[in-house]
């Protein structure tokens, strides 16, 4: 929507991971170095962890683009809460191996036969497991068993495990001791610092033809870092909305105040910091009591103030949602009006006939309609 206004060739802050937008911060370069080292070694496990939105998936996709297909067949799975046997079927499917109807023993034999056949053609298997923190200990153990597939001294399967920080805690369990012995490198991907946040924003803008418009002030970029806490996905969420707000206000300068206004809007919509965790609204009461409990030792009348507070909280939430809907409607109306003006200007440039003010029936809401009340700007 705002790309044409800023003369950009695309959306600079899309949320979907895209290796074309990969930015090599110091941390991302180190993580990439560990992955490339592991790829060169051709054995063992590489573990990469990081907070939600830290750029782990983009990092892996960027690596997979560099993998030489003539010597490595790479496959990626996104783990969910699946059992060990289901994980093996996911692995087989990612390498396009038909294991329908096979029990676990036959499934493992089919996997091993496939990987040995690959080895005879001079290729080896690379398995990337994303969201590895969702794996059960038994599922992690099955991955370790896959690393036992060998031809002579060469491993047939290598695994990269990518997950959130809690995966590191899983690896500290006693039953993970054997797998830990096969981890040849591990790295935790942290947030960007202030300078990297600025470079990250400008990198993504340049990728879509940025020539200084929009113009982010130094203070605004410092505020982006403070609000998003250096997490790339949060930066994308915030900056995308900032550009939309600037477009709607027909302004090309981005200052600290605009960042703060948009951050406040996001916090209101999400119930927490921009792009961060959603806060839950819990009725007042005893800390360990379930919602709706009046407490076994309390008198019935003592629950009434909490119930009234809960009702008031619900009313406040409904009012806030209604206000957001009204603001959204006003924003949509403003955008449609702007599109209408652009279309009229284009029509005039092409020399097409445009009705005079008195011709036909003027639609409600068009400029000059005295019967249509002005739209109040909503922030």
The arithmetic mean of pLDDT across residues 196-205, rounded, is: 96
Task: Please tell me the distance from the alpha carbon of residue 54 to that of residue 102, in angstroms, as a whole number.
Answer: 38
| Lowest mean pLDDT, pick from 29-33, 92-96, 310-314 | 310-314
Per-residue pLDDT at 109 = 94
- DSSP 3-state assignment of 375? coil
42 and 171 together in one domain:
yes
Say if residue 327's pLDDT is above 70.
no
Per-residue pLDDT at 347 = 58
The arithmetic mean of pLDDT across residues 133-155, rounded, is: 88
Determine, yes or no, domain membership for 249.
yes
* Selected residue with higher pLDDT from 320 and 159: 159
Q: How confident is the model at residue 321 (pLDDT cuts 50, 70, 90)?
A: low
Q: How many residues does the chain have?
A: 379
313 and 339 together in one domain:
no
Q: How confident is the model at residue 370 (pLDDT cuts 50, 70, 90)?
A: very low
Q: Provide the mean pLDDT of the chain.
A: 79
61 and 202 together in one domain:
no
Q: Which of 129, 164, 189 is the last residue of a domain?
A: 189
| Lowest mean pLDDT, pick from 163-172, 201-210, 332-341 | 332-341
pTM over 0.75: no
State which residues form the domain around 37: 26-189
Determine, yes or no, domain membership for 61.
yes
114 and 49 together in one domain:
yes
Q: How confident is the model at residue 329 (pLDDT cuts 50, 70, 90)?
A: low
Q: How confident is the model at residue 309 (pLDDT cuts 50, 70, 90)?
A: very low
Determine, yes or no, domain membership for 295.
no
Q: How far is CA 133 from CA 49, 166, 168, 169, 185, in A?
A: 9, 6, 8, 9, 17
Q: Cβ-count burial of 44 within 10 angstroms (0-12 exposed, 13-18 middle, 19+ buried)?
A: middle
* Selected residue with higher pLDDT from 43 and 197: 197
Which CATH number belongs to the domain containing residue 256 in this structure? 1.10.8
Single out the residue of 65, 21, 15 nearest to residue 208, CA to CA. 21
Determine, yes or no, domain membership for 258.
yes
Say what percent of the chain tops pLDDT 90.
49
| Lowest mean pLDDT, pick from 66-70, 104-108, 361-365 | 361-365
130 and 276 together in one domain:
no
* C-alpha count within 13 angstroms, C-beta hemisphere, residue 132: 28
| Lowest mean pLDDT, pick from 96-100, 141-145, 240-244, 339-343 | 339-343
Per-residue pLDDT at 43 = 87
Per-residue pLDDT at 82 = 75
**Cross-strand bridge partners of residue 128:** 76, 160
309 and 337 together in one domain:
no
Task: Please tell me the distance from the alpha carbon of residue 38 to that of residue 127, in angstroms, as a whole number.
Answer: 12
Q: Which of 166, 189, 212 is the last residue of a domain?
A: 189
Determine, yes or no, domain membership for 15.
no
The arithmetic mean of pLDDT across residues 96-120, rounded, is: 93
Determine, yes or no, domain membership for 7.
no
Determine, yes or no, domain membership for 49.
yes
Domain count, the chain: 3
300 touches 294 (CB < 8 A)? yes
The arithmetic mean of pLDDT across residues 203-221, rounded, is: 95
Per-residue pLDDT at 79 = 78
54 and 167 together in one domain:
yes
pLDDT digits (tens, 9 = 90+) for 275-306: 443 322 233 333 333 333 333 333 333 333 34
50 touches 190 (CB < 8 A)? yes
182 and 247 together in one domain:
no
Q: How confident is the model at residue 119 (pLDDT cuts 50, 70, 90)?
A: very high
217 and 235 together in one domain:
yes
Task: List the structure tokens of 336.
Answer: 């449609």
Say if residue 258's pLDDT is above 80.
yes
Helix/strand/coil percentages in the chain, nearest 5 = 50, 10, 40
Which CATH number belongs to the domain containing residue 41 in this structure? 3.40.50.300
49 and 140 together in one domain:
yes
Q: Which residues of 243-260 are buried (b: 16+ CB within 10 A; e: fewer)?
A: bbbbbbeeeeebbbebbe
Determine, yes or no, domain membership for 168.
yes
Q: How confident is the model at residue 140 (pLDDT cuts 50, 70, 90)?
A: confident
Task: Please tell me the distance from the alpha carbon of residue 216 to that of residue 286, in angstroms, as a whole number.
Answer: 48
99 and 125 together in one domain:
yes
Per-residue pLDDT at 132 = 92
Task: Please tell me the distance from the alpha carbon of residue 156 to that of residue 149, in angstroms, as a whole number.
Answer: 6
Q: How confident is the model at residue 346 (pLDDT cuts 50, 70, 90)?
A: low
* Selected residue with higher pLDDT from 294 and 199: 199
101 and 167 together in one domain:
yes
Per-residue pLDDT at 72 = 92
* Selected residue with higher pLDDT from 105 and 341: 105
Task: Please tell me the distance from the alpha carbon of residue 275 to that of residue 269, in angstroms, as a whole number.
Answer: 10
Say if residue 322's pLDDT is above 80.
no
Residue 240 CB partners (closer than 8 Å, separation 6+): 11, 13, 14, 15
């Amino acid at each position: 929507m705002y790309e044409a206004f800023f003369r950009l060739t695309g959306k600079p802050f899309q949320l979907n991971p895209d290796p074309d937008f990969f930015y090599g911060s110091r941390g991302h370069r180190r993580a990439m170095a560990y992955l490339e080292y592991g790829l060169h070694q051709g054995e063992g496990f590489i573990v990469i962890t990081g907070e939600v939105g830290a750029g782990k998936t983009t990092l892996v996709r960027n690596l997979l683009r560099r993998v030489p297909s003539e010597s490595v067949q790479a496959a990626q799975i996104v783990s969910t809460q699946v059992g060990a046997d289901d994980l093996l079927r996911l692995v087989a499917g990612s390498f396009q191996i038909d294991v329908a109807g096979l029990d676990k023993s036959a499934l493992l034999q089919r996997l091993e036969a496939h990987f040995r056949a690959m080895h005879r053609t001079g290729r080896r298997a690379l398995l990337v497991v994303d969201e590895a923190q969702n794996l059960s200990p038994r599922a992690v153990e099955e991955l370790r068993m896959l690393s036992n597939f060998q031809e002579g001294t060469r491993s047939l399967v290598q695994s990269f495990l990518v997950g959130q920080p809690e995966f590191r805690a899983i690896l500290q369990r006693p039953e993970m001791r054997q797998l830990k012995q096969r981890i040849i490198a591990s790295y935790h991907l942290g947030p960007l610092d202030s300078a990297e946040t600025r470079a990250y924003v400008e990198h993504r803008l340049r990728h879509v033809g940025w020539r200084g418009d929009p113009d982010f002030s130094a203070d605004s970029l410092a505020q982006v870092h403070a609000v998003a806490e250096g997490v790339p996905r949060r930066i994308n969420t915030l900056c995308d909305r900032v550009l939309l707000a600037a477009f709607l206000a027909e302004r090309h300068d981005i200052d600290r105040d605009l960042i703060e206004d948009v951050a406040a809007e996001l916090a209101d919509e999400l119930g927490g910091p921009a792009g961060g965790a959603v806060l839950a609204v819990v009725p007042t009461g005893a800390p360990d009591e379930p919602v709706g409990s009046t407490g076994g030792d309390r008198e019935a009348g003592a629950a009434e103030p909490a119930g009234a507070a809960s009702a008031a909280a619900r009313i406040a939430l409904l009012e806030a949602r209604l206000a957001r809907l009204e603001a959204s409607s006003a924003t949509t109306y403003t955008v449609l009006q702007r599109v209408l003006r652009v279309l009229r200007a284009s029509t005039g440039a092409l020399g097409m006939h445009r009705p005079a003010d008195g011709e036909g029936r003027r639609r409600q809401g068009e400029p000059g309609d005295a019967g249509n009340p002005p739209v109040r700007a909503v922030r």
